[in-house]
Structure 1
Amino acid sequence: MIQDTSAQDIALESKTNMKKVIFIVIVVIGLFFLGASMLFSSPSANRSIERASVQIATLEVGDLIRDVSATGRIVAANAPQLYSPEQGYVELKVQAGDTVSIGQIVATVESPELQNQLKQERSEMERLKGQLARQELDARRQTLQLTKTLDLAEVDLQAAEREERRAQASIVNNLISQIDLEKAVDDLARAKLSFKHAKQEVALAKDTLAFELDSARSTVSRQALVIDELVRKTTDLDIRATVDGVIGNLLSQQRSLVAQNAPLMTLVDLSAYEAELNVAESYANDLSLGMPVEISIGGQKIVGQLSGISPEVTNREVTTRVRFDQQDIAGIRQNQQLSARILLENKSNVLKVRRGSFVQAGGFVAYKIEGDVATKIDIQLGARSMREVEVLSGLSANDQIIISNYDEFIESDSVLLN
């Protein structure tokens, strides 16, 4: 007897449990894709880039030396030019590159006009000397004549005085008349007056002769100065080196006709060097004399100071001169290329970060890194040097930012770093 059908039944899993499992899997997958979608579409990560493709720097507090880079060359501190003192034909005694010593004759200018003028002035000097000697003889002759006139007036005065005394004695004895006495008195007065005028005329005549002789001597002295000046000019036709060094450039040809003050050659004093730097015009207002300068040349660093700043801008650059603190520098040559740092300012206890390409974006934004996300924030930069920049606002010490170029993701508010 068959009681029931239980022996033929097969146990099956519940369809309800299977549906729950499938539902849970679908929900998990949906949540995953939804989270990923929200992650890439949210403002915290508009784009994804490789962390290794960007440069990251940490902000710190410390000293910042504000400087500016420049390039230039070594120049001689003393490189005078030699000029022709007169018009004439130049004869060069040296070649470019020759070593010369101070006082050495390096060129001679032949000036026939100057030589002829010197001969004329010397001839004029001889004429003036002869004229002076003749005036001295005339002065002696005139002085003798004046002395004779004065002596005769004195003799006449003495004779008049004797006649006046004789008349006075004769009138007492009634030997002469009153009229004869008065005539003797008048003759004495006339003799005194003549002698007085003769003395004055002799004195005036001697002063005149002395004045004329002094004038003639002054003319001779002036002519001597003219000759001395011409002799000096003639001597200067032998052009001498003004420094110990080498001949730089020859600015005229051998036996060529040169004008007065025409440049002949350049000397280079190798005992003292300076650096000539070209600085961008944007830093022109920050430069001042005496600023320290670090120069890198030939594997060595040299310290100097700004000694000159050009007042004009050429090709958007300002030319400056740097004087070295030490002159015994080995291994440098004229026109040797160099690089330099001009130290503009030293600031202490400032928030700073390593300089990067992000500065070229204007220095108004930066990407601050928090975890794996870099978020764009507004910042303000201050002083800038070749290696570091000052951060005035928007960041704090120990913050990390991207300092490489932002052109690839500048439009994104945030970036995911993989």
Structure 2
Amino acid sequence: MKNRRKLLITTIVFLAASLFVVFKLKSNKQEMQDNIAYSQRKVDKIPVIVETATDGVLSENVVATGTLEPSESLTLVSETQGKIVKIYKQKGDRVSQGDAIVKVDDEVISANVLTAEANYMQYQKDVERLTRLANENAVTKRDLEQATIGMKKAKADLITAKKALSNTSIKSPINGFINNSSLTVGQFLAGGSPVCEIVNNSVLNLNVKISEAEVYKIKEGQIVGVRLSVFPEKKFSGRITAIAEKADASMKFNVEITLLNNSKTHLRSGLYAEVDFPVKNQSKVIIPKASIVGSMESPVVFIAQNGKAIKRTLIIGQSNDKQVEVLSGLSANEQVIVSGQLNLKDGDDINIVK
């Protein structure tokens, strides 16, 4: 009797547990379906914040930015191989054209030069002797010709050996400073291996970009003002040395400016610089920089028009930390989207948040 009663209780408990599990699974399934439906529901309008494009100027004169570049910069490579026995110049040292920087072991190559000199001298004597004998018809012309050919080959071998010997003293081909070098005495230097980087900053180049509306207002040889952020109180001047004949993909023209690095303040390449062109700025459409989608090379914005986001591709001019000049693609008083535009697509419905 007790066993039947116990079995009945166990069966009831099992059935209750099974019913609870089934109910819970259905409840979780319904909740999951509700979540999926909620996540997939279409948002009718995307909230955005807009600002109005205005007419104005960012600066009184046309300003362009860039970084100073050395007039000459090269990586010196070894034309020989061998163990480094002497280092004459270190990183940061000034060098002149022809200064020795590194010396490579030349014992074997010096011996090759001596051998080549001896061979050449021997052939010279042979040619002189055979020439006298040929004049007396004591030897054939063929013997003289072979000796002459041998002398020319010996001379070429001597020139090659001397060149190899000179290559063991690695010299600077330009004036400048050693910007980078990591060689040590005793290190094996392979042919074609980099020895050091040499930078000549005696003349600095500055490449900047200006728009088509400004490129015809400047000319080669013109003097321009240059400002460096690291020396805000000092003024420098440069000369326009080249103006590009072709615009780049962003419709900008490259302008090269040269600065003589002969002031008391020694300038280094890589410094950020601003150029003031002697050209008065005209009023242009100004928009917030935050409205730009993508890069400044290929700028895109979205404008709010009749409750929709409309995509516009721009050509831009100058810019600062907060604003950008628009040369083409946008008019004053149009509303540009400055927040919420990153996930927009052309034609999306929008809701302007005040």
TM-score, normalising length: structure 2? 0.54
Q: Answer 1 or 2: which has greater helix percent.
A: 1
Once residues 261 and 95 of structure 2 are traced to their aligned partners in structure 1, the CA distance between those partners, rounded to angstroms, is 20
Q: Is the 2:87–2:103 Cα contact (8 Å) retained in structure 1?
A: yes
Q: Is the 1:80–1:266 Cα contact (8 Å) retained in structure 2?
A: yes
Once residues 121 and 109 of structure 2 are traced to their aligned partners in structure 1, the CA distance between those partners, rounded to angstroms, is 19
For this pair of structures, how many residues does the alignment match? 258
Q: Is the 1:366–1:379 Cα contact (8 Å) retained in structure 2?
A: no
Sequence identity of aligned pairs in percent? 14
Give 2:73's match in structure 1, choosing from 60, 68, 79.
79
Once residues 309 and 159 of structure 2 are traced to their aligned partners in structure 1, the CA distance between those partners, rounded to angstroms, is 82
Q: Is the 2:302–2:337 Cα contact (8 Å) retained in structure 1?
A: no
Cα gap change, 1:376/1:86 in structure 2, threshold over 3 Å: closer, same or farther?
A: closer
The letter of the residue matching 2:94 is: T
Superposed CA offset, 1:110-167 (max 9, x none): 2333222222222322432443355345435545xxxxxxxxxxxxxxxxxxxxxxxx
User: Structure 2: 5+ residue runs without aligned partners?
Assistant: 1-48, 210-217, 245-252, 294-299, 342-348
Match of 1:224 in 2: 155
Q: Is the 1:245–1:267 Cα contact (8 Å) retained in structure 2?
A: yes
RMSD between aligned residues = 5.0
1:118 is aligned to 2:113: yes
The letter of the residue matching 1:271 is: S
Cα gap change, 1:359/1:124 in structure 2, threshold over 3 Å: closer, same or farther?
A: same
Once residues 229 and 74 of structure 1 are traced to their aligned partners in structure 2, the CA distance between those partners, rounded to angstroms, is 41
Output aligned runs, 1:405-416, within 5 Å: 405-407=338-340, 411-412=350-351
Output aligned runs, 1:54-93, within 5 Å: 56=52, 58-59=54-55, 73-90=67-84, 91-93=86-88
Cα gap change, 1:391/1:121 in structure 2, threshold over 3 Å: closer, same or farther?
A: closer
The letter of the residue matching 2:123 is: L
Give 1:327's match in structure 2, choosing from 252, 260, 284.
260
Cα gap change, 1:322/1:260 in structure 2, threshold over 3 Å: closer, same or farther?
A: farther
Superposed CA offset, 1:227-267 (max 9, x none): 12322332332222222222221242223221122221222
The letter of the residue matching 1:82 is: L
Once residues 196 and 271 of structure 2 are traced to their aligned partners in structure 1, the CA distance between those partners, rounded to angstroms, is 24
Superposed CA offset, 1:270-298 (max 9, x none): 21223478x9xxxxxxxxxx999997524
Superposed CA offset, 1:360-381 (max 9, x none): 476443479xxxxxx9896966
The 3-state SS of whatever aligns with 2:69 is strand
Q: Is the 2:201–2:261 Cα contact (8 Å) retained in structure 1?
A: no
Q: Is the 2:202–2:262 Cα contact (8 Å) retained in structure 1?
A: no
The letter of the residue matching 1:383 is: I
Give 1:354's match in structure 2, choosing from 286, 304, 314.
286
The 3-state SS of whatever aligns with 1:243 is coil
Once residues 311 and 127 of structure 2 are traced to their aligned partners in structure 1, the CA distance between those partners, rounded to angstroms, is 93
The 3-state SS of whatever aligns with 1:224 is helix
Q: Is the 1:356–1:404 Cα contact (8 Å) retained in structure 2?
A: no
Q: Is the 2:56–2:286 Cα contact (8 Å) retained in structure 1?
A: no
Q: Is the 1:74–1:335 Cα contact (8 Å) retained in structure 2?
A: yes
Q: Is the 1:381–1:390 Cα contact (8 Å) retained in structure 2?
A: no
Q: Is the 2:100–2:169 Cα contact (8 Å) retained in structure 1?
A: yes
Once residues 96 and 104 of structure 1 are traced to their aligned partners in structure 2, the CA distance between those partners, rounded to angstroms, is 14
Q: Is the 2:56–2:285 Cα contact (8 Å) retained in structure 1?
A: yes
Once residues 378 and 214 of structure 1 are traced to their aligned partners in structure 2, the CA distance between those partners, rounded to angstroms, is 87
1:263 is aligned to 2:194: yes
The letter of the residue matching 1:80 is: L
Once residues 88 and 148 of structure 2 are traced to their aligned partners in structure 1, the CA distance between those partners, rounded to angstroms, is 43
Q: Is the 1:86–1:111 Cα contact (8 Å) retained in structure 2?
A: no
Match of 1:365 in 2: 303
Q: Is the 1:376–1:414 Cα contact (8 Å) retained in structure 2?
A: no
Cα gap change, 1:60/1:276 in structure 2, threshold over 3 Å: closer, same or farther?
A: closer
Match of 1:389 in 2: 326
The 3-state SS of whatever aligns with 1:271 is strand
Once residues 110 and 92 of structure 1 are traced to their aligned partners in structure 2, the CA distance between those partners, rounded to angstroms, is 12
TM-score, normalising length: structure 1? 0.47
User: Structure 1: 5+ residue runs without aligned partners?
Assistant: 1-52, 144-207, 280-289, 309-319, 369-374
The 3-state SS of whatever aligns with 1:79 is strand
Output aligned runs, 1:17-166, within 5 Å: 56=52, 58-59=54-55, 73-90=67-84, 91-136=86-131, 138-140=133-135, 142-143=137-138
Higher alpha-carbon Rg: 1
Once residues 171 and 181 of structure 2 are traced to their aligned partners in structure 1, the CA distance between those partners, rounded to angstroms, is 14
Q: Answer 1 or 2: which has greater strand percent.
A: 2
The 3-state SS of whatever aligns with 1:234 is helix
The 3-state SS of whatever aligns with 2:73 is coil
